[in-house]
């Protein structure tokens, strides 16, 4: 049986998702922040005969994230997705998203696959003497200005509004270094919830690279988040970046596929 969930199902669905808190970071975070009654977000679950959840599907605007631990009714989830205007965005654990790819009625965009890693321990983190600050809303323009200097980053037109909303909701934070009044490097979290947080926006101005700024910021930020009892996770597809993350305690836990 598949049905749409309400706030009365919150404890059961969070318990189910919390067995893989990193993989389910986006679903958990969206449920904690936006709940079950907003017009832009819905969540459905498939139940077995014992009443246990065996799969979920989250809609956030035109984005859908499926999750399951085993077999589930993919076709029924597809019928839910296609009842909304196409094309849609689909993302999730690679082996789950792959089950949707054969359904031609889904209008999916370009496929992107990245490695997914998580960190649960401060064991490999060192102290730093650098002057690292936590950004306030007043620094949003500086954060985005720095990100725009990075060729790999593609900022949306409403990036400032989205960052402001996330910071006000305490689902995002940014730590940074500064020199001569200019932000030189920064690292951010996004989709923070009560049990996990995603690392994003690791960047350093070109003229300040190879000085360990981003690594020092990461160590400070990682320690603070982990000491709050949360699990850290991130996407990466750059082998050099992957080696740095692994030296700081991250380990690969799978792949993540996005259709955009």
| pLDDT, tens only, 136-185 | 999 999 999 999 998 888 788 888 998 998 999 899 999 999 999 999 99
| pLDDT, tens only, 210-254 | 999 999 999 999 999 999 999 999 999 988 889 999 999 999 999
Environment class of 39 (CB within 10 Å of its CB; exposed 0-12, middle 13-18, buried 19+): exposed
Q: What is the pLDDT of residue 164?
A: 93
Map out the domains of the chain with their CATH numbers: 2-109 (3.40.630), 118-259 (3.40.630.30)
| pLDDT, tens only, 110-133 | 999 999 999 999 999 999 889 999
**In the predicted model, what is the mean pLDDT of residues 68-79?**
97
| pLDDT, tens only, 202-222 | 999 999 999 999 999 999 999
Q: Give Cβ neighbours of residue 68 (< 8 Å, ≥ 6 apart).
A: 46, 54, 55, 56, 96
| pLDDT, tens only, 23-40 | 999 999 999 988 999 899
Q: Round to whole Å and give the CA distance between 179 and 164.
A: 24
pTM of the predicted protein model: 0.85
Alpha helix segments (H runs only) across 7-139: 10-17, 25-34, 74-81, 94-97
Q: What is the pLDDT of residue 162?
A: 86
């Amino acid at each position: 049986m598949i049905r749409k969930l309400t706030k009365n199902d919150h404890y059961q669905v969070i318990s189910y998702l919390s067995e893989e808190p990193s993989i389910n970071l986006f679903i958990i975070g969206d449920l904690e922040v936006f709940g079950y009654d907003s017009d832009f977000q819905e969540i459905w679950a498939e139940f077995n005969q014992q009443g246990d959840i065996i799969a979920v599907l989250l809609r956030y605007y035109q984005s859908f994230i499926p999750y399951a631990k085993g077999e589930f009714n993919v076709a029924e989830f597809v019928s839910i997705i296609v009842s909304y205007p196409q094309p849609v965005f689909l993302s999730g654990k690679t082996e789950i998203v792959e089950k949707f790819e054969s359904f031609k009625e889904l209008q999916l965009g370009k496929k992107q696959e990245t490695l997914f890693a998580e960190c649960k321990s401060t064991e490999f983190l060192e102290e730093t003497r650098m002057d690292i600050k936590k950004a306030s809303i007043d620094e949003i323009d500086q954060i985005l200005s720095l990100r725009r200097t990075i060729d790999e980053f593609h900022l949306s037109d409403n990036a400032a509004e989205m960052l402001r909303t996330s910071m006000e909701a305490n689902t995002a934070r940014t730590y940074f270094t500064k020199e001569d009044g200019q932000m030189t490097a920064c690292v951010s979290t996004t989709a923070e919830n009560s049990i996990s947080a995603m690392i994003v926006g690791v960047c350093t101005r070109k003229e300040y690279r190879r000085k360990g700024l981003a690594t020092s910021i990461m160590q400070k930020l990682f320690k603070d988040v982990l000491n709050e009892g949360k699990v850290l996770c991130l996407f990466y597809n750059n082998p050099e970046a992957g080696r740095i993350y692994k030296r700081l305690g991250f380990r690969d836990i799978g792949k993540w596929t996005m259709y955009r």
